[in-house]
Structure 1
Amino acid sequence: MKLRLLLFVCLSMSGISLAQPSADQQIRAIRQQFNEAIARHDTTHLASFFTDDYTLLSARNTEAKGKEGGKRALANAFRTQKNVVYVRTPTQIDVFASWHMASETGRWTGTWQETDGTVMLTGTYLAKWHQINGQWALRAEVFTPLTCSGSSYCEKGPGVK
């Protein structure tokens, strides 16, 4: 009993909490891991964040379905866009705990090298999370572009010839 009390006092004084992180904190931590996996171009790790029925709607209106579809879409970006890095930054996470779902909204950036300059594409996104067996996973993501600069790539939006 004295050992437990001593451990509790030491942890309390060090600022370490034994409390379970909130759903918001868990999702933000997963999003950070996701961003790190994108920076490494680690499609296997990225796919581990998706539900089996994951759905993606990209900034250029590309659709991907399922865990493998999401993995292929990211692998294609890594293969075709030199030095590509995408960063998602959550601005708000709303949790519906009784249904084990959450909504994440935020801003995203994409940068990569084209022959005539470095593309900087930015916008907003909406992600739907689902907690399955105690783990949060991405069920859907929708990306809307708002700015593009740095290359003639920006002149060629979806459907532009």
Structure 2
Amino acid sequence: MARHDTVGIAREMMPDVTVVSSTSSMGMGMSINVSRMAAQFARRPDTKWVRTPERIAVFDAWGVASERGQWVGTWTEPDGPVVIRGSYEAQWRQIDGLWRIQGELFVPLRCEGGAYCRARP
């Protein structure tokens, strides 16, 4: 993500991945989610997203895992920098020995910055 490598990001996702973003928009499928990220990187070239896992639990018998933690996003809007942060959960599935993201939920808990943070999406 730091390199805005959408091809690399796509490799981490299952084809039917579902993502609920911090703005509560839901994207279903790898191609939709990757194109949403590409559009954001083009619109905000200094975008950075950092996920910090706090808990990972694996259920080996079913080949699934839960990743929970905190995330921070930063970029610059016309009226200045934005810092948004919150919690997230990701469900991973192991397919043919490889772990892939099946679903992600990003909940915003704080936003600092200009107009972006004052307007509810």
What TM-score do the two structures reach when normalised by structure 2? 0.96
What is the match of residue 94 of structure 2?
131
**CA-to-aligned-CA distance 1:120-154 (integer Å, 9 cap, x gap):** 00000010000000010000000000000022210
> Counterpart of 1:92 in structure 2: which amino acid?
R
Structure that is richer in helix per residue: 1
1:41 CA drift (Å): 0.7
> Counterpart of 1:53 in structure 2: which amino acid?
D
Structure 2: distance between partners of 1:107 and 1:89: 5
What is the match of residue 84 of structure 1?
47
What is the match of residue 97 of structure 1?
60
SS at match of 1:40: coil
What is the match of residue 11 of structure 2?
48
Q: Post-superposition, which runs of at least 4 consecutive aligned residues in structure 1 deviate over 6 A?
A: none
Structure 1, unmatched stretches of 5+, are: 1-37
Structure 2: distance between partners of 1:106 and 1:117: 27
Q: Percent identity?
A: 40
What is the match of residue 81 of structure 2?
118
1:82 CA drift (Å): 3.7
Structure 1: distance between partners of 2:43 and 2:19: 18
Structure 2: distance between partners of 1:157 and 1:78: 21
1:68 to 27, 31, 34: 31
Alpha carbons 1:82, 1:114 under 8 Å: kept: no
> Counterpart of 1:143 in structure 2: which amino acid?
F
Structure 2, unmatched stretches of 5+, are: none
> Counterpart of 2:101 in structure 1: which amino acid?
L
> Counterpart of 2:59 in structure 1: which amino acid?
F
Structure that is richer in strand per residue: 2
Q: Considering Cα pairs closer than 8 Å and 6+ residues apart, tell me whether 1 or 2 has the greater RCO.
A: 2
**Over aligned residue pairs, what C-alpha RMSD do you find?**
0.9
Alpha carbons 1:55, 1:139 under 8 Å: kept: yes
Structure 1: distance between partners of 2:66 and 2:116: 31
